[in-house]
Amino acid sequence: MRADVQKGPEIWLRGPVTVPEPGPQEPHTHAGPRRYSWVGTHGGAGVSTLAAVYGGHDCGRDWPGPEDPVSVLLVARTHAAGLAAVLRAVEVFRLGEAPPGLDLDAVVLVADAPGRLPRPLEKQVRLIEPLIDVYRVPWVNDWRLGDLGGTPPRETEALARLTGASARRR
């Protein structure tokens, strides 16, 4: 566990709490949107598509390297295997087993089919939501056909704001 993280009870919700460094306060400067590393929790999660549409570094299924952004967005499809894989990956962070220096910022769930999520899968999503911020990406037929242009789906406005994609596409 990193030295700058405050230790607390075993309950882990929405990530560790960072303890501010003592010393003089520096003036805040606007550095632009935070950069992210997209990490797939299983093959075919949609990491390359998300990185192309929202920006950031495409890590595939690997951890970010030393030159990559340390802020991690875990990606999974909304099928049973994808949801189980993302829960395992969140547990890796909770147990402090992820590579040192990485910050888990959110989970991004990509629809595995058009339409509503079946009730059993929706229940699995509800197990993830109390642990970490979850962003959902709907089925986008144009992306399936290779058309990554245009604006991101309306349902992903919060994800676009997080990644700065809304500012880049104007």
Against a cut of 0.85, is the pTM above it?
A: no
* CATH numbers and ranges of domains, the chain: 37-168 (3.40.50)
Strand, helix or coil at 106? strand
- 3-class SS shares of the chain: helix, strand, coil, % to 5: 30, 15, 55
119 close to 157: Cβ distance less than 8 angstroms: no
Confidence (pLDDT) at 26: 45
User: Mind listing the pLDDT tens digit for each residue in 99-147?
Assistant: 999 999 999 999 999 999 999 999 999 999 999 999 999 999 999 999 9
C-alpha separations of 159 from 4, 9, 24, 73, 88 in Å:
27, 30, 34, 10, 22
128 close to 101: Cβ distance less than 8 angstroms: no
40 close to 57: Cβ distance less than 8 angstroms: no
Per-residue pLDDT averaged across 160-169, rounded?
A: 79
User: Mind listing the pLDDT tens digit for each residue in 6-60?
Assistant: 444 444 445 554 544 555 544 444 455 679 999 999 999 999 999 999 999 999 9
Give the span between the Cα atoms of 7 and 9, in whole angstroms.
Answer: 7
Give the span between the Cα atoms of 69 and 104, in whole angstroms.
Answer: 11
Confidence (pLDDT) at 27: 45
Confidence (pLDDT) at 88: 97
User: Mind listing the pLDDT tens digit for each residue in 55-95?
Assistant: 999 999 999 999 999 999 999 999 999 999 999 999 999 99
Q: Where are the alpha helices (DSSP H) in the chain?
A: 47-54, 80-94, 119-128, 141-144, 157-163, 165-168
